[in-house]
Structure 1
Amino acid sequence: MTTIAFVGLGAMGAPMAENLVKRQFRVVGFDMRKEAREALVAAGGHEADSAAAAAKGADTLVLMVVNAAQARAVLFEGGALEALAPGACVVLMATCSPGDVEAIAAEVERSGRSFVDAPVSGGVAGARGGTLTIMVGATAETLARARPVLDALGDKVFHVGGKPGQGATVKTVNQLLCGVHIAVAAEALSLAQKAGIDGATLFEIMGGSAASSWMLKDRGQRMLAEDPPVSSAVDIFVKDLGIVLDAGRAAKAALPLAAAAHQMFLAASGLGHGGRDDSHVVRAYRALNPRADNDA
């Protein structure tokens, strides 16, 4: 039985690891939170008390961590890379900058292990349903080895390029569009409410018009709720749009809309909403455009 070490049992990582268990992989998970490890055990997996312990002798290491710094800490400082079986595969599924991914891949490959750059899109719902979109940058041979694991996690696996960093580039473009779509939906709602238009009516109309987008339909209703469940936090888009802008600087590409959206997510975070659902970016607009009824 293939043994998979899974590091990062958060809102998306936990259901992803559980889907691997359901596909009959032996999954050994690690997360800093004990309750997350216990939940994996309850689902039929195994827990470890460190990333290195989870990786010991494993054939594949899946990293669903927050950023490149955490990936480096797990692999190199925490000893997970050297604990893997010789010739094992490291699958990095977190959203990281293309340059960071290339550098991490080079270090992994120097150890004799293979590397798959495989960021995902689809959110918590996609993680739970095994319907994630996975953007892969890796050689065809390496992808073939990792394919059973990826197919257990997503139903849309795209081979976007033959080298690490190319998957991260596509995810960067994806996050540019997502962040701008959420911010502009909040801006539209702010304008409408300032003029006395009911938000629910607005989104019902816009959702069926040429102005619609997946993000407008998904986040719009959550902007109307007082404290919706966290699907993706405001601070995630602070990070991800920061990656977008870094990529733009590296390519000398002007990204004015991404920069504006980044500022609004930063403002929402500064208002104390960093850990709340990313639809709370609307609170930054409400701070700029207070309504007469003071409904914030």
Structure 2
Amino acid sequence: MNDQERSAAPRVGVVGLGAMGLGMARSLRSAGYDVGVHDLRAEVAAEFAREGGAAFPTPGELAAAVDVLIGVVVNAAQVEAVLFGEDGAARRLRPGAVFVMCSTVDPAWSAELGDRLAESGVLYLDAPISGGAARAAAGELTMMTSGPAVAYALAGPVLDAMSATVYRLGESAGLGSKVKVVNQLLAGVHIAAAAEAMALGIRAGVPAEALYEVITHSAGNSWMFENRMAHVLAGDYTPLSAVDIFVKDLGIVLDSARPERFPLPLAATAHQMFLQASASGLGGEDDSAVIKIFPGIDLPKPMEG
């Protein structure tokens, strides 16, 4: 981005500097944007400021300084706090500014949020994300978005700077979240199935490394098997996406289908598996730790050194 482009570019804010949000903020800075941030962990925001960004003590103060505000928090309750809590962002965003909501939430709630923001003239993009922390840092996310053309006119280049692909699914808020619900159904079921298959093979006496090698080169492979069962082989359950994330996300999947009386037997079973893992004290571990619910298997241990 040259000096003329920088002067014409929207000012961007990111609320929520977890594994995804911090990477997104950094990728935006790498693309040449002036980026302000807010996080409840002031030290994380301060570190970003030392890298060349700007830290703000509240969502409201950040909102007042930007044209595009991106929310990368965990759930709808946290989005509510960011926008409508004490010194929240909603009343400080100028008319015509854009709020980009990247959390996984109920699609009906997302649609309602768009209506609430429109009352004060704030534009809204429903924009859930997929790709993980590494792709967030590289600016290679997949974004499932919906919203009015005028919001894309301002925020579209910002989305492009964070993403490998931005899907524009329509003008209605909630469409992006509906697609994310389907994605999370598949992701959760695939992780649960991968864990079940790996556990069965280990219990049957197949060396875990050999099982992984064969399956990742066979028709039964999936992206989630290849990615998450590598964590199991390493004995490393450091959370990149935690068990409790899928307790939440699969709960949203089931809740969104219930008004339609639409059966989701595989999603319900996977949800129970993640609930069991969480109830066993594994909620904060990597979601691959769902394999630990299976009895009598000798899982690989972390490598020393």
Normalising by the residue count of structure 1, what TM-score does the alignment of the two structures yield?
Answer: 0.95
Q: How many angstroms apart in 2 are the aligned matches of 1:86 and 1:155?
A: 29
2:19 — aligned with what? Answer: 11
**Aligned residue in 2 for 1:68:** 76
User: Could you tell me how far apart the structure 1 residues matched to 2:139 and 2:35 are?
Assistant: 16
How far has the Cα of 1:60 moved from its partner? 1.0
SS at match of 1:156: strand
Match of 1:199 in 2: 208
Match of 2:296 among 269, 287, 290: 290
For residues 88-142 of structure 1, the C-alpha deviation after alignment (integer angstroms, 9 at most, x for no partner) is 1110011111011011111011110100000000011110111100011112332
Contact 1:139/1:163 (CA < 8 Å) preserved in 2? yes
Partners in 1 of 2:175 and 2:227 — Cα distance?
Answer: 28
In the TM superposition, residue 294 of structure 1 has moved relative to its aligned partner by: 8.4
Instruction: Give the alignment partner of residue 149 of structure 1, picking from 132, 148, 158.
Output: 158
Gapped runs of 5+ residues in structure 2? 1-6
The answer to whether residue 48 in structure 2 is matched with residue 45 in structure 1 is no
Which runs of no fewer than 5 residues in structure 1 stay unpaired?
none
How far apart, in 1, do the equivalents of 2:251 and 2:69 lie?
27
Cα separation, 2, equivalents of 1:43 and 1:169: 36
Q: 2:103 aligns with which of 94, 111, 116?
A: 94
Pair 1:261-2:270 in alignment: yes
RMSD over aligned Cα, in angstroms?
A: 1.5
Aligned length: 292
1:34 deviation in Å?
1.8
TM-aligned CA distance change 1:66 to 1:227, over 3 Å: same
Within the candidate set 257, 261, 275, 2:284 is matched to 275
Match runs of 1:1-296 below 5 Å:
1=7, 2-78=10-86, 79-285=88-294, 289-291=295-297
Take 2:241 and 2:300, find their aligned partners in 1: how far apart are those partners? 24
Question: Deviation digits for residues 159-197 of structure 1, max 9, x if unmatched?
Answer: 112211000000000000000000000000111111111
- Identity score, percent: 45
Q: Is the 8 A contact 1:21 1:43 kept in 2?
A: no
Aligned counterparts of 1:127 and 1:87: Cα–Cα separation in 2: 27
Q: 2: distance between equivalents of 1:25 and 1:56?
A: 17
- TM-score normalized with structure 2 length: 0.92
Check the 8 A contact 1:116/1:138 in 2, yes or no. Answer: yes
